[in-house]
Structure 1
Amino acid sequence: MLLKSVKIVAFVLCGSVSFSADRAQADEHVIIILDSAYFPYRTAIAEGDTIRFVNVSGTTLSVTHVDGLWTTPPMKEGQEIIVNIDPEMVGKYFGWTTRRITGELEYASNLVTN
């Protein structure tokens, strides 16, 4: 299971890098749901983008905004769900009812760059 997760994370690292200087088209962001973390933890998004949640956690779960503003349908192990970005999606989210793992969506325009 760990090897499978490592291969998926490596694929995401190699496949999700964008060198575009402008926002002429929407991006798809891949978020891997592991047993103990989301990868990446924080994702910079823009309106019109999509998120592909990929569940490799070993269990069925939904991803839910901490304030209950949105939630995904339940995803089985190995299942993927594509979600269209909406302005209310920014903020933290979790995948377990105990909220033991969290991730965060943030608008790219709000990020400070060095």
Structure 2
Amino acid sequence: MPLPKAEVSVTCHDAKNHVMECKRAIADESGYFQMELGVTKVSDFFMGDPSKACHVRLQASPEFKCNNPTNINYSSIEGASLRDEGKRWTGEGYDNVMYAAGPLAFRPAICPPKH
């Protein structure tokens, strides 16, 4: 279930695998977020591919009782990889591409044991 007002970050690496951009966003009332990255050339991204160069991480939950980020859809500390959604449009002299990340999830701080 999407979580409105959850905070996420997107971190992207450059061609030398150094962090070139790190931004935060707050999910809207539907639990989704959109973010514009300031990179204009695909070749500036690590391996020339934003889906390999950028990762999304949960940062903060608006729910006090459910605020521990999980790695439910990714296995590394980098976060969830982006996937190309196949949506493209041109605007202001450059091409735009929409990427998405798989569902992200928080868990409660204390999980009662199951017997």
TM-score where L is the length of structure 1:
0.30
Higher-Rg member (1/2): 2
Structure whose residues are more often helix by fraction: 1
